[in-house]
Amino acid sequence: MFVLHIALQGCLRARDVEYGVTADTGGHIRYLLDLVRASSRNPAIDRIEIVTRAFVDPVHGECYDACVETIDARSRIVRLRSTDSGYLAKERLWTQHDSLVAGVIAHIESLDRRPDVIHAHYADAGALAADVHDRLGIPYVFTAH
């Protein structure tokens, strides 16, 4: 099974997360990373991706502009660019919705296989997953956190 998570808020990275560095970098990131690490030990799940938003911000560092970051042998973070390249608080992410939908669809279509399920985290990712489902038919689940 291939699970694709969508989590757009905060400063998400595989290691040494700076919890509290922004109002959006909190417990949901810990939950997501713990979920991914536990899921990667499940033999029924052979591939996991976390899709998040790439951004450039001198305050937060260059790591959030890296396109791909490996978590473990089965899991990785994929950062997609949107029309605004800077860091955006969760209250401003809606301005990037259309470009992120296009980016997620392009990413999925570039893969050797489609995800079996999308797991969306928070409302912005839920709306994005619903649009991807409408266009590609991939089922999704939503966690509001």
pLDDT in tens, 62-72: 889 989 999 99
Structural domain of 33:
2-143
**In whole angstroms, what is the distance from residue 104 CA to residue 100 CA?**
6
Mean per-residue pLDDT, 68-89: 96
- Residue 124 and residue 90 in contact, taking contact as beta carbons nearer than 8 Å: yes
| pTM of the entire predicted model | 0.95
Q: Give per-residue pLDDT as tens, 8-37.
A: 998 999 999 989 888 888 889 999 999 999
pLDDT band at 58 (very low <50, low <70, confident <90, very high): confident
Question: CATH code at 102?
Answer: 3.40.50.2000
pLDDT at 24: 84
64-70 contacts at long range (C-beta below 8 A, 24 or more positions apart): 64/11, 64/12, 64/13, 69/13, 69/14, 70/14
Element (H, E) at 121: strand 117-121
pLDDT at 107: 98
pLDDT at 68: 97
State how many domains the chain has.
1
